[in-house]
Structure 1
């Protein structure tokens, strides 16, 4: 069984890496393509908004979808759907493509989020308990690597072979991801949920479960605030790059993203080592430490006007990002089968909504403030919540042991 678990873990890691490479490849390529076709920043904003709305819809639709269509087939089908969504861009005339691109963006956002929800919530059925943290760490590492390579290579591929070649390559990545998902074999059966429970029943049970796991509930709140900080630094990267070197701003941004990915890779590996054989409380504390590292790292990075100090400090931010992500996903996967799916759906809803709202909020601040001030404000929110949560956890554990749904 351990050999099969190891095989499943490797397939999942490679599938997630290829899938995230494809997701970031098409995000950059499609955004650039939309602007090239429309010559309108407003249309690009509409396109990106449709993608975010698709992710939000997926967080609500994910529960009934995976209760009905659980297993590897649904995940492979989502990869095939992403490939099919891109296929019109290979045969439609450019003047007709602009009308369908918002629908493609919505579908891609929907499928991307459904894939993440399904994979994270069902991973415990494919991977043995003592291998889950290590698998999550490698998934985070593979996702970060795929994201950066997808972002960096998209521009090179567009310049060399054109948009159609990039879209064709993107379709191939999704077909490859589907082929990696199909050989998965279930090791553990999930607890079936009665159909009569319904959508409202799922969320009611999740709410009741979070009352019994207040630290996990607080982690979700911090994740929401963290998405606002993520929106701020994503919008701010081009601005910071201009501050550092106006003549080579695109190259500077590429360096920042690549070094951040290295830090996130290292953070995921560190989390795997620290959490090995440990319980829920260690996951919760490591999440707090990861968020603290990430937010302080980004705050310090955006104070810099020279490249080398910024590169050193963004490693710090990436390290915290990798640690926090592995700890949060591993903690959520520790919940019972009946709660895991709605929990990951809620987490996706939090991340997509927070990021979308954050992108809208931060723009006006960059018009009036420096990037350093904006990042202090938005990354200061999760840091403030961490201080409150840390003090509360200290007081709570001195009086009464923490109640969790799954005992350590």
Structure 2
């Protein structure tokens, strides 16, 4: 009975009745916190390099067209790498993927730091390709691994911690780029970025967080528990083919299963990914328009206005972490698809209002609300997709990264062109208006599809992460009434000490909206994951 958690309505209603974390959970939390700190350092270097590399690329190419082509090359590389990394994240060690991504990016930045202003355009092009591929691969592996690294029931807190780290690192990277380049030049900025990647890789190698679930033992051919034994015996009686043919057949079946993942994705999941891409499209507009608006509002000190805006946005992201953590403690149903869409609506409206010429105090408040909504949607979206089974999660996040990169790339180019003819408010209004319309359409789609609650994200046999990271089926089965107590397990049942009581303590991965009861029934509004 050691380590089992039985969640009842009374334990959910009182924070004091929650079970204390085990020693393994405390170690896992410490490792993740240490990794999150190193991740913040890596993000800081990324955004420092984003400014430095843009200015450096313009200096090397000597034209805005050359700068635009290099930016498009980097984004295109990330878009392609997202889909490839999604497949790898389901089959390879994710910690290794993140370490290799960090080391590859560190290597090219060191080369660029050593070359300096004399770097040829071809070298800069190779560097931006490696950066695009490495950043996309790292993000896919990390998002896929969070439920294993932090624990499935702690993934909302973990995602909030990563969003907080990324927000502050983004602001600090943007703010420190100008003085670092002014004092040390591009070489120092690139060296700092390379060092940040090495810090992230070092943390992964030292802390060694678990990033892949432990797969259950597969019964051998002679094991009576092997469900494929009778079929194999029949094939053996009829004469087996050569070993090479068998291996080739298994490879073809594996590839067919991988391709079938995307074909079987439900409309709801694809709609969420599409809305996330529209969100990125809208976000590109305010990133491009903000420097223009700051120069028009404060010609003498545009950097001060931008610093105030992004600092307030970062504070809002921190508040989003606090908000989502509190909501998850009450019920993760509150962080479902509807919450994601509503957060997107609030975020788009806030960014549009921010460009209406508000006085500084009002602008700071609106930017804080925008940051709160931005962080909330990020955490809700990522946490919802992380309810997918482990073997599908990587490919879905690969698809998501590709959609986000595509939306941001197209939006950046289109917004920059639109600003040549339209005011900043009109450009931001058009792009964020498109995201707002997409979110409203998604809400209508949800209301028509599942009037009683968030629709089920994926239909498959319920699975969940065991405390040791293995994937085990939910033996209690779906359709259980909300707040149902754990049935006492029969003696000797459950794989490796896992009983139906272990599985009932968290809802199955198939219920991202918290409605795993039969259609029309009440979902488990208060169960922990």
Could you say which TM-score interval applies, normalised by the shorter chain? over 0.9
Superposition deviation, residue 367 in structure 1: 2.0
Normalised by the size of structure 2, how large is the TM-score? 0.72
What's the counterpart of residue 53 of structure 2? 30
Could you tell me how far apart the structure 2 residues matched to 1:191 and 1:120 are? 19
Please tell me whether Structure 1 or Structure 2 has the larger radius of gyration of its CA atoms. Answer: 2
C-alpha change, 1:159 and 1:278, in structure 2 (3 Å) is same
Superposition RMSD in Å: 2.2
In structure 2, the gaps of 5 or more residues are 1-23, 217-249, 459-509, 515-529
1:43-79 deviation digits (Å, cap 9, x = unpaired)? 2112211210121121122134334531322211211
Cα deviations across residues 107-131 of structure 1 (Å, max 9, x unaligned)? 1011011000001101222221221
Query: Taking structure 1 as the reference length, what is the TM-score of the superposition?
Result: 0.92
Q: Which residue of structure 2 aligns with residue 147 of structure 1? A: 170
Q: Among 54, 62, 82, which residue is 1:39 paired with?
A: 62
Residue 394 of structure 2 is aligned to residue 368 of structure 1: no
2:204 equivalent to 1:204: no
Q: Helix, strand or coil: the match of 2:133?
A: helix
State the distance in 2 between where 1:306 and 1:275 align.
35
Q: Which has the higher helix share?
A: 1
SS at the partner of 2:265? helix
1:236 aligns to what? 289
Q: Distance in 1 between matches of 2:382 and 2:427?
A: 28
Distance 1:401 1:135 in 2: 23
The whole-number CA distance in structure 1 between the counterparts of 2:453 and 2:291 is 48
Per-residue deviation at 1:247? Answer: 1.7
Seen in structure 2, the aligned counterparts of structure 1 residues 57 and 398 have a Cα distance that, compared at 3 Å, is closer
Alignment gaps of 5+ in structure 1? none
2:72 corresponds, among 10, 29, 49, to 49
Q: Deviations over 1:284-329 (max 9, x none)?
A: 2221221112101101001115333222211111110000000000
1:170 lines up with 2:193 in the alignment = yes
Deviation track 1:75-102 (CA, whole Å, cap 9, x = no partner) reads: 1121111110112123326333433101
Instruction: Output aligned runs, 1:209-358, within 5 Å.
Output: 209-211=265-267, 214=268, 216-276=269-329, 278-280=331-333, 282-304=335-357, 306-358=359-411
Equivalence for 1:135: 158
The separation in 1 between residues aligned to 2:195 and 2:180, in whole angstroms, is 14
Map of 1:181 onto structure 2: 204
For the 8 Å contact 1:58–1:113, the answer to whether it is kept is yes
CA distance in 1, matches of 2:61, 2:447: 55
Give the 3 Å change call, closer, same or farther, for CA 404–98 of structure 1 in structure 2.
Answer: closer
- Please give the secondary structure, in 2, of the residue aligned with 1:398: coil
